[in-house]
Amino acid sequence: MATNSSIPTVTLNNGVEIPQLGFGVFQVPDEETTAAVASALEAGYRSIDTAAIYGNETGVGRALATSGIAREDLFVTTKLWNADQGYDATLRAFDDSLAKLGLDYVDMYLIHWPTPARDLYKDTWKAIEKLVSDGRVRTAGVSNFQPDHLKRLIDGAELVPAVNQVELHPGLQQNELRAVHAELGIATEAWSPLAQGAVLKDEAITTIAGRHGKSPAQVVLRWHLQLGNIVIPKSVTPERIRQNLDVFDFTLTDDEMTAIAGLDRDLRTGPHPDQLN
């Protein structure tokens, strides 16, 4: 069984290391979150990804508090919701998230969506820069930002986002965006890494899975890792939580990576970032 020491880390543009494979809690009810996060920590995960809008920061905090794991060995991410964008509102929302999590600082704070029609993400970023300088956020990042949003955010900013967390899976490979990330020194983190199951029956993936004696989900997670993506699969089933971590004992060949590259088809399971406000 993989332990946390077997999870590789990615060094971000501020020198902070993030585990490349983490545990997401999107759509997990608060009362179920504590057990799910406890299962993940027990399996060896050390990176936990939540958000204000998920309504389960309290459940995450309870699991962290009772885990017995030293705070410095954990990597905790949460996100600012759209309605709380703006300088003062961001600072207030961060205080609320931190209180629910029961922590003194978070490892990463992300602007959840650019919400371009609100036009507040630059002011919001200034607030997050302040939280970083105050030592309450170790790493500042964004989520669902398109290339134009990133370039506008960075113009005149003190910090370049360390991470952009976006929908990314074999059906939506985000090649253009990943190239922009590489150019700007931003790490790519994938949400919905399995397309909520939509790619797991693709013949290319099931064939590769059979060849390696792995599940289709394990093959897709391995594909992400070999591309260099940070990835945060979500599950509430202890067995699946463990399986998602068991992806470090095999390697996809170049031909297998190419076969998966051929599955890109603009398949979105979530909203388009230009349109969600």
272 is in an annotated binding site: no
β-pair partners for 23 = 48
Give catalytic residues, as residue numbers: 54
Q: Can you say how many angstroms the Cα of residue 27 is from the centroid of all Cα atoms in its chain?
A: 14
Q: List the one residue out of 63, 32, 44 whose CA is nearest residue 2.
A: 44
Residues 6 or more apart whose Cβ sits within 8 Å of residue 69: 41, 46
CA distance 275 to 86: 19
According to CATH, the topology of domain 13-261 is: TIM Barrel (3.20.20)
Q: Are 6 and 21 in contact (CB under 8 A)?
A: no
* pLDDT tens digit sequence for 5-41: 689 999 999 999 999 999 999 989 999 999 999 999 9
* pLDDT tens digit sequence for 178-226: 999 999 999 999 999 999 999 999 999 999 999 999 999 999 999 999 9
Identify the three-state secondary structure at position 224: helix
pLDDT at 277: 84
Q: What is the dihedral of CA 265, 80, 49, 116, to 10 degrees?
A: 10
pTM value is: 0.96
Where do the structural domains in the chain lie, given as residue ranges? Answer: 13-261
Task: Specify the DSSP element, H or E, that contains 9.
Answer: strand 9-11
Query: What percent of the chain shows pLDDT beyond 90?
Result: 95
